[in-house]
Amino acid sequence: MNKPFPVPQGSAAQRIEAELRRAIVALDLPPGTRLSEQEIAGRHGMSRQPVREAMIALARARLVEILPQRGTVVVKISARKMMEARFIREAIETAVVRRACSSFDRQSRQRIDDLLGMQEDAARRDDHTGFQRYDEMFHVTLAEGAGCPLAWDTVQDIKAHMDRVCQLSLPGANAMLPLIAQHKAIVAAIDAQDEAKAEEAMRFHLTEILRALPRIEAEHPELFE
C-alpha cells in the first residue's frame, strides 16, 4: 500500500522543491512573498545550488516568477488563469471518464472504492489535508484505470493555478461532503457505462470550484493580482 504521506526522498533539490511547493499551495508562503535563494538555503542547511534548481522547477510550474538579477516572488493568484486552467482540466477529465466508460481497469475500480471510503473518513475527522490527498488520488486512479496516466501528469501541471483557491474554499462550512457525493455520481455513471452521464457528472464536479471563486476573491483580495 502506498504511504499517504511519503517521506521526502531523492536529491536535496527535489526535497526543497516539494517543500516549497507544499508551502506555496498551503499559503504558508502567500502570493507576493519574496524568496531569496540565500535565505532559504541557509534556513534548510544547504547550499544555494539545490535551492536554485528547485526555483527553476517551480518557475516552470508557474508557482513563482524569477525576475533576472532582481529576485524571485510567489506569483499572485490570477482568477483569469484559474478559470482557464479549470476549463482545460474539464476538457481532459471529461474525455478521461468517457474513455473510462468503455473500459476501466478492474484493479483501479477496487481502489476507487477504497479511496472513497478513506476520503469519507477524512471528511468526518474534518481533516482537510487528508481529504485533498485522497481527492487527488481519486482523480489519479480514474486516469490510470482509463489507461491514460499521462492525463493526470498534465492535469497536475495546470492544477497549480487552481489548488490555492481550492485550499481557501475547503474550510467553508461542509464543503467536503458534497464533493464526495459528486465523486460517487461519477463512479456510478462509469459503472453504468453511460458516457453522457459520466461526462456531465465530471463537468458538474469541476464546476464546483467556479461557484466558490467570487466569494473567495472577495474575501481575500490581497492574494489575487
H/E element, 124 = helix 106-124
Q: Rounding to the nearest 10 degrees, give the CA dihedral for residues 132, 135, 137, 142.
A: -160
Pick from 27, 30, 48, 105 the residue near DNA by CB under 7 A. 48
Question: Of 32-40, 154-162, 199-207, 214-222, which segment contacts a copy of itself by CB under 8 A?
Answer: 154-162
Rounded CA separation 120/102 (Å): 27
Q: Verify binding: residue 36, DNA, rule CB under 7 A.
A: yes
Q: Smallest gap, in angstroms, from Cβ of residue 96 to a copy of itself?
A: 8
Rounded CA separation 212/21 (Å): 23
CB within 8 Å of 153: residues ≥ 6 apart = none
Question: Of 91-99, 105-113, 175-183, 191-199, which segment contacts a copy of itself by CB under 8 A?
Answer: 91-99
Q: Verify binding: residue 65, DNA, rule CB under 7 A.
A: no
Q: Rounding to the nearest 10 degrees, give the CA dihedral for residues 30, 31, 37, 38.
A: -50
Pick from 4, 32, 39, 188 the residue near DNA by CB under 7 A. 39
Q: Verify binding: residue 53, a copy of itself, rule CB under 8 A.
A: yes
C-alpha cell at 130: 487528508
Q: Verify binding: residue 92, a copy of itself, rule CB under 8 A.
A: yes
Pick from 26, 95, 116, 210 the residue near a copy of itself by CB under 8 A. 95
Q: Give the C-alpha distances (Å, rounded to integers) separating 172 from 126, 164, 212.
A: 11, 14, 9
Binding site for a copy of itself (CB under 8 A): 11, 13, 52-53, 56-57, 60, 68, 81, 84-85, 87-88, 90-92, 94-96, 99, 147-151, 154, 157-158, 161
Residues that bind DNA (CB under 7 A): 11-13, 35-39, 46-50, 52-53, 55-56, 66-72
